[in-house]
Structure 1
């Protein structure tokens, strides 16, 4: 379905590794873009990450899950011939996405100004960790660094002990990837209207702060005196142990809070002035959490889930990765798709998150073996298939 997706007809070249750039370009590929992944001779380091088949190397699950719908070419950008090939490929592309540390790509002759001189309508995306200015601009950055600086680890602190912790997945990489994905489509729309390309810069730190800010950063929002404390979602507990497991439980409206109080058989909480409004429940979350938590320990998970379902409460089971596969709601929606990779074999992935009625997005090419498409790509840009890229 690549010829029918909403980004069909556009070519994207990715000079990226790890997660942010690859995930962003994979989503473009899902929507029909022709994505060319330029890899160093050793390949993207994610190729060796995650679970893998015992008899297959270079196709770990972390790579598999962030690199479908791409073609792979190996180019050694330290080589003059391979740099020339990379420039040729980039000049034949609508979009370039790169996540080198600031300054590196320019020294290689593949920066925005160099490529714009060859193709002035190019959309060029630079992804960095902490921004391009400031004392930490040149630092080596992974997700955990951004989580620390942006406040994720503080927000994830245990409400009782105040011990900080990170979100245990590469959340800021993925937030930045989604920002890149949207920014590219916006820049392409501008080019359709004006004929002009542009340089798009996405900082993981900026994307992370934008993600956190709306409901979590109230204490950093209002400036000056006279600010009344209001609490936030981050101070509220949602995961509670039961007699034999755990559940997720929450409430926003007064009617949702009343329904939970009825199920938990604790009507006295409704009469508490400290819990009368959403804002008061946030401010007094520690005491409310303790009361609810003690009650939930008295019954099994299955009992609570049935009772909460009967009153249309805001609740969920706590699924572990192995539970996702059999969850009835996930199964009913068809979100998880099963495919057969010619090298890896049968595997499972979520469908593209947006479902288009007229221009469907989805899988049309499995994650590539390292360098599998080099000859084809070189031929498309008029270069010999022996030498550069081999």
Structure 2
């Protein structure tokens, strides 16, 4: 792996996190050059056993592998005075501490905000929780499924035919929170550079999830009153249509795109059809449009539709499964997937960092660490005698 000077090179971050909302965020910060020290307790992050795994190797399942590169792992007994003292000494020499313990746990372990701020006044300290650190939800056990229900994901995913709520089939609210953490850390570091201040940043998964849904899904919550007319976007618009051998995704937003779609399905009469003349018309008459498109796409296989839609500059996509993504020609052309060789588990694939910096490139410098692999090295660097 080629070292690179990323935009966050020189910053040091202590991660006191598990699952995804903190580990994926710190991984992205690590990609950008920050030094990440992941403090784990005995047994380690529970994602070490989540997902696909090598039967002969414990503690490096795919969920952990894909969320913890560019880090060093240390294990401390945080219930002991020595473990807490070591964690405090490390935190005091870091620029950022990020944790997602349940509210009150960090303080009991000696690594709460006030405890670390007393050692380093300009610390950037980020606390991530599920439903807030105070009030009704503070004491609850919260995972992605809880936030999907509260924020509205499960209801918005309900199929039109059954109306049965269903989950988004990914831990979406954890990842939304992680990307909020990623941005918040860099913003707080910028404020410290300009103003010389540290601060406590609090992020709840529920806040982040609702903010994510608000622009489009929350129409009924954001615009109310007697004079408001309900629109059909996005709930009634159908984007996935069956083909002769599978499915295809198409869009029909701007006029050139509608023209390309109509041309591809050999229905030029629809271009000037008054029911579909503008985006507003298409949304008002969405059921009629859905019926026409559904009938048209079943006449040919998906690959033929892809060729025809691309030739007419339409908005379209294949319906890839996880096993298809790495081999998709668009993904290959973009170079999104990188092959790696982990020193313990062997060959694997990973997605590269999503932001491409011209002058300060992000890079993958370290594979995800085995549990506690770097404890002695890190403790020695901070002048701490192992227990």
Please classify the TM superposition score into its range, dividing by the shorter chain length.
over 0.9
Distance 2:45 2:284 in 1: 46
Report the CA distance between 1:135 and its aligned residue: 2.2
8 Å contact 2:4–2:362 — kept in the other structure? no
Which residue is equivalent to 2:84?
83
- Secondary structure of the residue aligned to 2:225 is coil
Q: How many residues align?
A: 386
Cα distance, 1:271 vs structure 2: 4.9
Distance 2:52 2:31 in 1: 23
5+ residue gaps in structure 2?
Answer: none
Query: Aligned equivalents of 1:163 and 1:49: distance in 2?
Result: 28
| Partner secondary structure for residue 216 of structure 1 | coil
TM-score by length of 2: 0.96
Structure 2: how far apart are the matches of 1:277 and 1:164?
A: 31
Verify the 8 A CA contact 1:159 1:236 in the aligned structure 2: no
C-alpha distance in 1 between matches for 2:215 and 2:3? 36
* Partner SS state of residue 299, structure 1: coil
Q: How does 1:218-367 map to 2 (within 5 A)?
A: 218-367=219-368
Give deviations 1:258-295, integer Å, cap 9, x for gaps.
Answer: 22122223345445544333233234333322221122
CA distance in 2 between partners of 1:62 and 1:300 (Å): 35
Structure 1, 227-236 or 346-355: larger mean CA deviation = 227-236
Deviation by residue 1:161-216 (Cα, 9 ceiling, x = unmatched): 22221110011111110110000000000101111100011111111111111122
Tell me which residue corresponds to 2:179.
Answer: 178
For the aligned residue pairs, the C-alpha RMSD in angstroms reads 1.5
Conserved in 1, the CA contact under 8 Å of 2:17 and 2:23? yes
List runs of 5+ in structure 1 lacking aligned partners.
Answer: none
Which residue does the alignment assign to 1:36?
A: 37
Q: Which residue of 1 aligns with 2:69?
A: 68
Task: Identify the residue that residue 215 of structure 2 maps to in structure 1.
Answer: 214
The CA distance in 2 between the partners of 1:366 and 1:30, in whole Å, is 11
Cα drift, residue 32 of structure 1: 0.7
> Distance between the aligned counterparts of 1:160 and 1:286, measured in 2?
13
Q: Distance in 1 between matches of 2:271 and 2:311?
A: 20
8 Å contact kept, 1:172–1:208: yes
Aligned to 2:12: 11
Give yes or no for contact 2:15–2:36 (8 Å, CA) kept in 1: yes
Normalised by the length of structure 1, the TM-score is 0.95
CA distance in 2, matches of 1:214, 1:275: 25
Shift of 1:130: 1.5
Q: 1:129, 1:141 within 8 Å by CA — same for their partners in 2? A: yes
1:193 and 2:207 matched: no
Greater CA drift, 78-87 or 287-296: 287-296
Name the CA shift for 1:132/1:283 in 2 (closer, same or farther; >3 Å): farther
After TM superposition, list the pairs within 5 Å mapping 1:14-29 onto structure 2.
Answer: 14-29=15-30
Preserved CA contact (<8 Å) 2:4 2:361: no
